[in-house]
Amino acid sequence: PVGPPLTDVLHGNDAYAYLVKPGQECGGTDDNAFRLIKSHMLLHFDTQQIPADFSVRTGLLKAVPEGTNRFTPGEEIYLTQNISVHVDQPGPFQLDIETPDFGLEELDDEYFLVFKFTSFVEGNLPIDSYPEAGVAYRFNGTSWEDMDTLDRRPSGKIILWGDIVCV
């Protein structure tokens, strides 16, 4: 993360999706597939936002082609059960959620790693220093919006990633 995190964006009862291309992470494999082992998201909490108790789910969404090399979040492929989270210290917080019952998915497809906050939470979103359209999305209650188009400063993408095993 760089600079100050995004404020007044994370309120809970919303979702964040990040474009991933597992095939770029794995060479040729026997089954041309991968398994998601764990999902991660960086959050940040100010002193007045602590303690924070919330529930969240993580998983994978289909990437729907929209033009050339552009995708939007689509239907759900996999989603964990609700996970209860307690944060009692201000500052950066790394949300790590295991995905033990994830099946196999094709390496050649594009996907969105998703975090769905299923309860209220007031927090901030650390960002990188590389703004890029068509990568990070926020579900605003009715539709997915490209976070690169949000009227905000500073500029960059939220930080989400997944651990995979190539098979």
28-65, pLDDT tens digit by residue? 677 889 999 999 999 999 999 999 999 999 999 999 99
The owner of tokens 């007045």 is 48
Burial 112-148, CB ≥16 within 10 A → b, else e: bbbbbbeeebbbbbbbbeeeeebbbbbbeeeebeebb
Question: How far is Cα 93 from Cα 29, in angstroms, rounded to an integer?
Answer: 34
Residues 6+ apart with CB under 8 A from 100: none
CA dihedral 23, 27, 31, 33 (to 10 degrees): -30
Question: How far is Cα 4 from Cα 18, in angstroms, rounded to an integer?
Answer: 20
Mean pLDDT value of segment 133-153: 86
Q: Within a 10 A sphere around the Cβ of 49, how many other Cβ atoms? A: 17
Quick check: pTM over 0.85? yes
pLDDT bin (cut points 50, 70, 90) of residue 84 is very high
pLDDT bin (cut points 50, 70, 90) of residue 108 is confident
CB 125 within 8 A of CB 70: no
Mean pLDDT value of segment 93-112: 95
Percent of the chain at pLDDT > 90 equals 76
Question: How far is Cα 64 from Cα 74, in angstroms, rounded to an integer?
Answer: 6
